[in-house]
């Protein structure tokens, strides 16, 4: 199943890719849109493919968090906010 970042979260991904950051997080939390248009929260697991020391592409797997408890999701959201500062 394919998931796509929401419009709001696309900017975050774009900044990471434009900066060619060496510190791309191995996993992060963001929203995504399923093919049917449903918005979901996902934990993304990222694998960076480099060429000549620069990021060539990123392969990501998104895990739908619908089965996480509300407290776990709130904790992840707070953790994301802290890490972005």
Greater confidence, 24 or 75? 75
Greater confidence, 49 or 21? 49
Average pLDDT of span 54-79: 80
> What is the DSSP annotation of 47-82?
EEEEETTEEEEEEEEEEE-TTS-HHHHHHHHHHHHH
Q: Cα(first)–Cα(last) distance of the chain, in Å? A: 32
CATH number where 42 lies: 3.30.450
Average pLDDT of span 40-48: 84
Residue 14 reports pLDDT greater than 60: yes
Q: Which domain holds residue 31?
A: 3-84
Q: Count of domains in the chain?
A: 1
pLDDT for residue 20 = 55
Task: Supply φ then ψ for residue 53, to 5 degrees.
Answer: 80, -5
């Amino acid at each position: 199943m394919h998931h796509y970042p929401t419009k709001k979260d696309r900017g975050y991904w774009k900044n990471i890719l434009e900066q060619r950051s060496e510190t791309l997080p191995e996993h992060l939390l963001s929203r995504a849109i399923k093919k049917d248009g449903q918005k979901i929260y996902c934990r993304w697991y990222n694998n960076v493919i480099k060429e000549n020391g620069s990021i060539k592409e990123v392969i990501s797997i998104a895990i739908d968090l619908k089965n996480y408890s509300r407290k776990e999701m709130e904790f992840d959201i707070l953790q994301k906010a802290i890490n972005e500062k």
